[in-house]
A and B are shown apart, each in its own frame.
Chain A
């Protein structure tokens, strides 16, 4: 069994991501938040399980759905919300919004929504680490949809050729916007794409944080001992729409997920799963879980206040950050 401390931390991190995402639902629906937000609810176990095996010095790149990745790798709920609200106090000074969050000081080098783009960037971070032999590893988080881009395969090949210390983490939530996986790939076999590049590749239940952690530890171990890269495919599901809370945006359906499928995955909620385990193994009492949830509730509420009360960037500063003097 994993150390109690670690298990509790993972639980708290997962709850933090979930509550942070869910508190945004109302402001998005009301139009208070205008910037496109891709909620991470339902996929928390992947960010948290992988994040738990990384050191602060390691490098992480995200994609368009990266609130969870950001929060696990040193980001704060306050700066996340402030960024989504377009405030100067946001993690990118209100310049990037939800799709461009970063915490480079703690290794989260950045997220960006051009699908597949950051896979190559993460490969480059691993290249930097390998040139410097500094013991860092890199992680690239991307979705099943990103495996449609050539950059994915080019990165796999190059990373394998150079034995780069990178974990390619595919969060397979079965959809890319309005397209189900079977309309995008001839087979549901993302994990198999590592094989021709001689990359150790594994598929796991992405809603079970313990399994995610176990596999990520193994992958990190391989990377740290020069046996990288590694490809991990985690099967998971988003509980919300592609962008925004639901599947209907501006009167358009962005996906066509059957209600039964949605319900089936709802019963596999990764947080409930961990909760059951913690109670069963008597790691936490229900009172303790409740207290964690209450603390997280306070954190996200306070963060929302912080975001709402923050200052917008001064229009005079429009020219800032284009190039560094």
Chain B
């Protein structure tokens, strides 16, 4: 296969971004729990320890608050740390260094000091793991001024957004999803970046816009295919960044289709889907032909039991249903 259309797994795309940025920038190092254990981080850290050693690939004690704070400090002191939390739930101990310190630092120092840090949180849900091992909390970070939040849905974006996040002068929260790790797609062999804050139209359509992110972007594509058979032409907009939001792209697409479904991997209330809905209401007022629909997690903690899990996580089926409701 020519390198031009090489196919790579999502998790290995992240791995490649780390390899390539670490090899060209000595300031970059990876720190966090499980960086030497595939059980924690899949194959995203494959070969890094062997190549860069324990100086730059640092597995840590169970100390999310302190370790993340240390990563913030190292960033302020001129390094470019990537601190990983193998489950976003564990990252809640690190909210203080991320929000109080990293996010505010540039502002609080009057622009004298930046925090070029990547906080990498993995959404790792399902499998009856219940409330403390399943949460998608990007909405919290998207709420915070000073943070950027990226959530790739394809291997191409996973590599490009990781590279962009590392190169950014600001703290970037990079959020991936274990449910995407096996997915495959075209990934260039050379290092490239995907712009933070820019969405992408994954599929053009004329009747309705589906704005989605992360795993739900992948599900939206499936939904759009099914809708095509039902004679509905859906445009799928993958946000890629939860912050900054690609407002222009959203408004352009929804102005055209005048119908909207927002599909998010997080909870409904006060989250990303609410933000997109508010933006559209603000900019387009009553231009929509029908009220928009949101597909999100119900405002409920993640259950353990499989019968509850089955109805808890929305997938393409729920997106199709939401679209059809608009066309009823």
Contact = CB atoms under 8 A, between A and B. Distances in A.
B312 interface: yes
B193 interface: no
Interface stretch (A42-50, A282-290, A314-322): A314-322
B215 interface: no
B140 interface: no
B62 A146 contact: yes
A252 B301 contact: no
Given A34-B306, A313-B308, A185 B300 contact: no
Interface stretch (A91-99, A166-174, A206-214, A222-230): A91-99
Contact of A35 (B36, B64, B130): B130
Contact of B62 (A87, A99, A148): A148
B59 to A, nearest CB: 7
B317 to A, nearest CB: 14
Interface stretch (A65-73, A109-117, A195-203, A273-281): A109-117
Nearest to B127: A34
A97 B128 contact: yes
Contact of A86 (B40, B59, B62, B128): B128
A312 B59 CA distance: 39
A318 B304 CA distance: 11
Contacts, number: 130
A36 interface: yes
Interface string B84-107: 000001101100000000000000
Interface in A141-200: 145-146, 148-151, 176-179, 183-185
B57 to A, nearest CB: 13
B247 interface: no
A252 B38 contact: yes
Contact of A97 (B40, B130, B300, B312): B130
A250 B311 CA distance: 26
B132 A313 contact: no
Contacts of B36: 178
Contacts of B306: 34, 86, 312
A176 B59 CA distance: 12
B47 interface: no
A165 B34 CA distance: 35
Given A178-B34, A250-B39, A35 B127 contact: yes
A100 interface: yes
A148 B90 CA distance: 13
Contacts of A114: 89-90, 92-93, 132
Nearest to A249: B39
B63 interface: yes
A312 B308 CA distance: 9
B77 to A, nearest CB: 21
Contacts of A95: 130-131, 301, 303-305, 308
Interface in B144-170: none
Contacts of B90: 114-115
A254 interface: yes
A99 B63 contact: no
Interface in B258-311: 298-301, 303-308, 310-311
Given A99-B133, A315-B310, A184 B304 contact: no
Contacts of A97: 128-130, 304-305
Interface string A245-260: 0000111111000000
A34 to B, nearest CB: 5
Contact of A99 (B34, B40, B132, B305): B132
A65 to B, nearest CB: 14
B305 A184 contact: no
Contacts of A148: 60-63
B305 A145 contact: no
Contacts of A116: 62
A97 B132 CA distance: 11
A249 B308 CA distance: 25
Given A35-B127, A146-B62, A252-B39, A322 B299 contact: yes
Contact of A183 (B38, B59, B64): B59
A312 B60 CA distance: 39
Interface in A45-70: none
Contacts of B59: 179, 183
Nearest to B93: A149
Given A34-B127, A114-B90, A114-B132, A315 B65 contact: no
B200 to A, nearest CB: 32
A185 B301 contact: no
Contact of B39 (A34, A86, A177, A313): A177
A176 B304 contact: no
B66 interface: yes
Contacts of B307: 86, 94, 312-315
A37 to B, nearest CB: 10
B23 interface: no
Top 5 closest A-B pairs, CB basis? Answer: A97-B304, A86-B305, A148-B61, A94-B305, A35-B128
29 contacts: A35-B128, A35-B130, A36-B128, A86-B305, A86-B308, A95-B301, A95-B304, A97-B129, A97-B130, A99-B129, A114-B89, A114-B93, A148-B61, A148-B63, A149-B63, A150-B65, A150-B93, A176-B62, A177-B34, A179-B59, A249-B39, A250-B39, A253-B37, A312-B305, A312-B307, A313-B307, A315-B307, A318-B303, A319-B298
